[in-house]
Amino acid sequence: MKKIVLAACLALSFAVPSVYAQKAAPVDPATAAAARELLESMNYRATMKAMMTQMQQNMPAVMLQGATAAIEGNPKLTAEQKAAEIKKAREEIPKASASFGATFSDPALMDELANEMVPLYARHYTVDELHQMAAFYRSPVGVKMMATMPEVMGESMVISQKVMMPRIKAAIAKVVKTQ
C-alpha cells in the first residue's frame, strides 16, 4: 500500500504545480495595490475556490490512475496480486482524497493564496501593466475568461493527464523495478 500512496503522490505532483516558491522580496506599496486590484478584477478568490473544487473532484481519479499505473507496472506482482492491490487502492484512495478536502475547503486558504500572489505579480509586472490587466479582466471577455477558467483548467488537467500518464507509468515502473 505504501507503493500505491507513493505512486499516487507522484502522479498528483505532476498534476499540481509545486507549492514551494522562493521567498518574495518586499513589494513597493503602489505595485502591491495594483496587484491587489488585479486580483480583485479577476475575482481571484472565487475563481481559485472553483478551481480547488474542480481539483478536489478530479483528485481521486488522478490518484487511482497513478496507483493503477504503478501496480500494473510492477513485474514482481502476479495478476491476482495486481487485482487485489488495485481493489485496495479503489477502497483507500477515496478516503485519502476526502482527507485532503479539509485542506482545499479551508476558508483561510484563498486569502493566503491571494497574499502570496501579490509579490509574484509585482515581481513580473509594472504598476501600469497591472492596471491594464485589471482593465482587461473587467471587460466582458475578461469576465468570461475568468468565469470559464475553472472548467477550462479542469479539462486541461484531463488532457495533461492523458499525455503525461504514459510517461509517469514508465517512470513508476522503472522505480518499482529498482526496489
Handedness of CA 113, 116, 118, 124 (dihedral sign): negative
What value does the CA radius of gyration of the chain take, rounded to a whole number of Å? 20
The pLDDT profile of the chain, 179 residues, written as one tens digit per residue, is 444 444 454 455 544 455 444 565 788 999 999 999 999 999 988 888 888 887 788 888 888 888 888 888 888 899 999 999 999 999 988 888 877 777 777 878 888 989 999 999 999 999 999 999 999 999 999 999 998 988 898 889 889 888 988 888 788 777 777 76
In angstroms, the CA 172 to CA 60 distance is: 18
Considering only CA atoms, which of 2, 1, 7 is closest in space to residue 175? Answer: 7
CA 36 to chain centre: 22
First to last CA, the chain: 14
Tell me the domain boundaries of the chain: 2-16+27-178
The values of phi and psi at residue 74, to 5°, are -85, 105
